[in-house]
Amino acid sequence: MKLSKFFLPILKDIPSDAKIKSHQLMLRAGMIRQSASGIYSWLPLGFKVLKKIEIIIREEQDRAGAQEMLMPTIQSADLWKESGRYDGYGLEMLRIKDRQDRELLYGPTNEELVTQIFRDNVKSYKSLPLILYHIQWKFRDEIRPRFGIMRCREFLMKDSYSFDETKEGARLSYNKMFYAYLKTFERLGLKAIPLAADTGPIGGDLSHEFIILADTGESQIYTSKKILDLKIENFSNDEDNLNNMVKAFTEIYSATDEKFDQSEFDKSVKKEDQLITRGIEVGHIFYFGDKYSKSMRALVNSSSGQNITVEMGSYGIGVSRLVGAIIEVNYNNNVMKWPTTVTPFHVAIIDLGKKSENETKIKSQNVYEKLKENYFDVLLDDTDESPASKFKNFDLIGIPYQIIIGSKQKVDEYEFKEVGFDKQIVSLDFIIKKLKEIYFN
Amino acid sequence: MKLSKFFLPILKDIPSDAKIKSHQLMLRAGMIRQSASGIYSWLPLGFKVLKKIEIIIREEQDRAGAQEMLMPTIQSADLWKESGRYDGYGLEMLRIKDRQDRELLYGPTNEELVTQIFRDNVKSYKSLPLILYHIQWKFRDEIRPRFGIMRCREFLMKDSYSFDETKEGARLSYNKMFYAYLKTFERLGLKAIPLAADTGPIGGDLSHEFIILADTGESQIYTSKKILDLKIENFSNDEDNLNNMVKAFTEIYSATDEKFDQSEFDKSVKKEDQLITRGIEVGHIFYFGDKYSKSMRALVNSSSGQNITVEMGSYGIGVSRLVGAIIEVNYNNNVMKWPTTVTPFHVAIIDLGKKSENETKIKSQNVYEKLKENYFDVLLDDTDESPASKFKNFDLIGIPYQIIIGSKQKVDEYEFKEVGFDKQIVSLDFIIKKLKEIYFN
């Protein structure tokens, strides 16, 4: 893509209503624009990152054996009356009447709808275990939307739902999702820690939130430095080991300020290991047994021939919110650097030649073609802006690798730079080899 | 994927409320389930097809130079008051009030919102031409939803919007989309014909609908057999040739019954060439000049230094509707056969062995592993159903190639069948070579 053609409306100044850095960056780098209060349009740069996050989430869900489907955004109120949540959900639920005066709502979550689909279509334990998921827009009518896409009204969520015959089966499904979540966040370059959590309006017996450590996070987090040494890549996902993995991650004391208990903290974590930091919630998983299957009569014929209510859990990841979380972690000192797994482009080419200088234009174009031939997604800055302005723009765009083409370089020399490191003068072959290692290992 | 684990609730009988064959098939093959009147959930099989169609549409949009973004489903009513369409749109628009009593709506289309984004972010002709698109769920509150996803309320649409400095530029953008549409439908295995159309509530001077020829279509079509000989693959998409391509496709008389004129038909098409058939609308493109840019004041600084209203067009494809259209064309005599470009699985393995027969189970499993190693997406029927029932199910699932494993075959022999053709007894290597040619050419 050539920057002169790319719809990337960069803002020179920080919009006054953007209080946190992800909101500032997303507006300035032309990733999003607000379309109504708490409702955003994703412009091409933001959309590219959102899609890449979505793909990683999908891959890890599929790997965990979850099956993708897609439920609609608009639901019938009747279902929520069946489960008993319609009245209790309050003003955050966007309630709608259609032309026939039927009560509808914009789904804030999908326990009811997926339970309906399950009960209408699954009759026997032989179809279990089953994990279904979808990646769909949700709406919650926040009273005071703020912080850009971090606390907005229309947001993209991945929500999975597990169905099992037994409590043990449900626990295994829970553990599989626990693993998939840690894997997902690791691939996004984030350090996520699971915290025992309240179940809130979803209900249930067991719940964990996943919190990304970030200085600018919304919640205070109390934990041990030891949790930073735990890496999901060191755990296998075979069923027998999942319990040990969950145990390893959850036996370390971790709490948000809501649940924090100083004496317990001091008892569980040595003074020198205590880590008090901030975090951003990006996922939440629940085991809630028969809460919905009972009220909505989702029964299956069990292996012992009885009709039993199915054991369920639900598992959410804030897909659009993750874009903000990744920025909060990776946008420092006014310089953004995307993790290689979600960067909107693999590499930037910055042509520093003046308008009249055809030489750098040709050289830039050649590099551009060569990289495209090698399947890289490249953004070439072919605009007439000044070098200073170009570098400032790329500080916002955040592509982690840059090739800088200036008029003083030798023909076969290229300035190659990883954001945050010193530039190197190298050959184009070296650059291609390096980028292949990074992106296509 | 193994069928025993796949969430595929097949119905033995035709649901009584399903009047057309795509609706019948999608319910019976477990592709969709109705969640509320005119609102459907896409189960895994249906979702896979929907995604494949989406990818082909995306590729052809990108190739045409359109840039993908994503606008939200919920819009502010204020925008529609600005353009003047709020009152006129009628009861099909789903109107919503939020907790602050602000007027919102579920977008039925996006001319207003994209014009707002354009006017806020583009100031100069230098950023033109620009084509933006998104693939997003829309809602139209049909008074009588019917025919499954063919005439439903929540539906997936690809909508593109072009912005140009001049009328000639706008015409070029229009032609590029015209080409991209014919390419898209060709890749979906559909014969699409463009028809001059009324502009309806979108407005404008120039408009074509794209109609898929299908005996069961909703509209009567009058055209010439000669249009069947026109193939988009025989036209290049360089800018100079686009006009000739559009001319070739549009100079042949084609009309729906609404616009049909017998004497014109007889005058333009020789008796022996006259083709009277039925069709399904799957796309609609519009050039409407400054209809929105004027009312909403989307101005740019032109190349001659004046402030001018930008020239616009919009271009829609019914993504979810295409699933139905493809079925209407390819589901005949109770047998479905997906085009290879959108089939939910590349190939089916049908194990005909009885429960006790371990031999066919091992053979099927081996073939399954071998095909997966070769990157094929395979559905293995490992259930205990009878052979007759298995074949009936696969008539609904519609995977175009089948490998049938029976107990009477020799160890290194495999029954390979393309749906609609005779089976062959061949080696596994032959099958893999054949499938590679078909899917990965």
pLDDT single digits (tens) B229-279: 999 989 988 888 999 999 999 999 999 888 899 999 999 999 999 999 999
Asked whether B138 and B343 are in contact (CB, 8 A), the reply is: no
Residue B355 has pLDDT above 80, yes or no: no
Q: Give the single-character DSSP code of B87.
A: T
Spatial separation of the C-alpha atoms in residues B405 and B408, rounded to whole Å: 9
CA distances from A103 to A78, A96, A99, A204, B291 (A): 8, 6, 10, 27, 35
Residues of B in contact with A9 (CB under 8 A): 121-122
Considering only the beta carbons, identify the residue of B67, B120, B154 that sits closest to A74.
Answer: B154
How much of chain B is helix, strand and coil, in % rounded to 5?
Answer: 40, 30, 35
At residue A202, the pLDDT reads: 65
Residues of A in contact with B49 (CB under 8 A): none
At residue A52, the pLDDT reads: 98
Asked whether B25 and B394 are in contact (CB, 8 A), the reply is: no
Mean pLDDT, all residues of chain B: 95
- The minimum CA-CA distance between A75 and chain B, rounded to whole Å, is 7
Considering only the beta carbons, identify the residue of A43, A91, A99 that sits closest to B69.
Answer: A43
Residues of A in contact with B143 (CB under 8 A): 99
CA angle A362, A364, A367 (to 5 degrees): 110
Which token pair is A81? 């009356």
At residue A240, the pLDDT reads: 83
Considering only the beta carbons, identify the residue of B37, B67, B94 that sits closest to A96.
Answer: B94
At residue A203, the pLDDT reads: 66
CA distances from A236 to A168, A175, A180, A194, A253 (A): 20, 12, 11, 18, 23
Asked whether B191 and B212 are in contact (CB, 8 A), the reply is: yes
Considering only the beta carbons, identify the residue of B47, B137, B141 that sits closest to A73.
Answer: B137
At residue B258, the pLDDT reads: 84
CB contact under 8 A, B102 and A37: yes
Q: Is A210 buried (19+), middle (13-18) or exposed (0-12) by CB count in 10 A?
A: buried
Residue B203 has pLDDT above 80, yes or no: no
Spatial separation of the C-alpha atoms in residues B410 and B418, rounded to whole Å: 21
- The minimum CA-CA distance between A258 and chain B, rounded to whole Å, is 28
Residues of B in contact with A40 (CB under 8 A): 72
Report yes or no on whether pTM surpasses 0.90. Answer: yes
Q: Using H for helix, E for strand and C for coil, what is the string for chain A? A: CECCCCCCCCCCCCCCCCCCHHHHHHHHCCCEEEEECCEEEECHHHHHHHHHHHHHHHHHHHHCCCEECECCCEEEHHHHHHHCCCCCCHHHCEEEECCCCCEEEECCCCHHHHHHHHHHHCCEHHHCCEEEEEEEEEECCCCCCECHHHECCEEEEEEEEEEECCHHHHHHHHHHHHHHHHHHHHHCCCCEEEEECCCHHHCCCEEEEEEEECCCCCEEEEEEHHHHHCCHHHCCCCHHHHHHHHHHHHCCCCEECCCCCHHHHHHHCCHHHEEEEEEEEEEEEEEEECHHHHHCCCEEECCCCCEEECEEEEEEEEHHHHHHHHHHHHEECCEECCCCCCCCCCEEEEECCCCCCHHHHHHHHHHHHHHHHCCCCEEEECCCCCHHHHHHHHHHHCCCEEEEECCCCCCCCEEEEECCCCCEEECHHHHHHHHHHHHHC
B81-122 tens-digit pLDDT = 999 999 999 999 999 999 999 999 999 999 999 999 999 999
CA distances from A87 to A78, A90, A93 (A): 11, 6, 10
Asked whether A396 and A10 are in contact (CB, 8 A), the reply is: yes
Angle subtended by helix axes B44-63 and B319-330, to nearest 10: 110
Considering only the beta carbons, identify the residue of B7, B113, B153 that sits closest to A67.
Answer: B7
Which residue is it, tokens 């609908």? B209
Residues of A in contact with B33 (CB under 8 A): 117, 120-121
- The minimum CA-CA distance between B99 and chain A, rounded to whole Å, is 6
At residue B407, the pLDDT reads: 87
Which token pair is A257? 């300020």
Asked whether B336 and B202 are in contact (CB, 8 A), the reply is: no
Q: What are phi and psi of A388, to 5 degrees?
A: -60, -45
| Coil/strand/helix, residue B279 | strand
pLDDT less than 50: residues of chain A: none
- The minimum CA-CA distance between B420 and chain A, rounded to whole Å, is 29
Which residue is it, tokens 């624009």? A33
CB contact under 8 A, A137 and B37: no
CA A154, chain centre distance (Å): 15
CB contact under 8 A, A72 and B33: no
Lowest mean pLDDT among A52-61, B82-91, B201-210, B336-345: B201-210
Residues of B in contact with A132 (CB under 8 A): 7, 44
Which token pair is B58? 């995306």
Spatial separation of the C-alpha atoms in residues A434 and A410, rounded to whole Å: 20
At residue A441, the pLDDT reads: 83
Q: Give the single-character DSSP code of B273.
A: G
Residues of A in contact with B72 (CB under 8 A): 35-36, 39-41, 137, 154
At residue B257, the pLDDT reads: 86
Asked whether B213 and B277 are in contact (CB, 8 A), the reply is: yes
Considering only the beta carbons, identify the residue of A5, A70, A121 that sits closest to B42.
Answer: A70
Mean pLDDT value of segment B220-228: 94
Could you tell me how many CB contacts below 8 A there are between chain A and chain B? Answer: 145
CB contact under 8 A, A69 and B42: yes
CB contact under 8 A, A72 and B40: yes
- The minimum CA-CA distance between A84 and chain B, rounded to whole Å, is 18
- The minimum CA-CA distance between B229 and chain A, rounded to whole Å, is 35
Residue B356 has pLDDT above 80, yes or no: no
Which token pair is B255? 């009309």
CB contact under 8 A, A41 and B9: no
Residues of A in contact with B139 (CB under 8 A): 74
- The minimum CA-CA distance between A99 and chain B, rounded to whole Å, is 6
At residue A221, the pLDDT reads: 94
At residue A187, the pLDDT reads: 97
CA distances from A370 to A287, A349, B331, B421 (A): 51, 12, 45, 45
CB contact under 8 A, A74 and B42: no
Residues of B in contact with A137 (CB under 8 A): 72-73, 137
Nearest Cα residue in chain B from A127: B5
- The minimum CA-CA distance between B42 and chain A, rounded to whole Å, is 5
Residues written for chain A: 441
CB contact under 8 A, A141 and B98: yes
Residue B227 has pLDDT above 70, yes or no: yes
CA B75, chain centre distance (Å): 25
At residue B202, the pLDDT reads: 65
Residues written for chain B: 441
| Coil/strand/helix, residue B304 | coil
Q: Which of B2, B3, B4, B7 to mutate to test the interface with A (most CBs of A within 10 A)?
A: B7
CB atoms inside a 10 Å sphere around CB B152: 24
B141-193 tens-digit pLDDT = 999 999 999 999 999 999 999 999 999 999 999 999 999 999 999 999 999 99
CA dihedral A113, A115, A117, A120 (to 10 degrees): -140
Nearest Cα residue in chain B from A103: B36
- The minimum CA-CA distance between A128 and chain B, rounded to whole Å, is 8
Considering only the beta carbons, identify the residue of A47, A72, A143 that sits closest to B35.
Answer: A72
CB contact under 8 A, A35 and B98: no
Asked whether B401 and B418 are in contact (CB, 8 A), the reply is: yes
B6-51 tens-digit pLDDT = 999 999 999 998 999 999 999 999 999 999 999 999 999 999 999 9
DSSP letters of B321-353? Answer: HHHHHHHHHHEETTEE---TTT-SSSEEEEE--
Residue B63 has pLDDT above 80, yes or no: yes
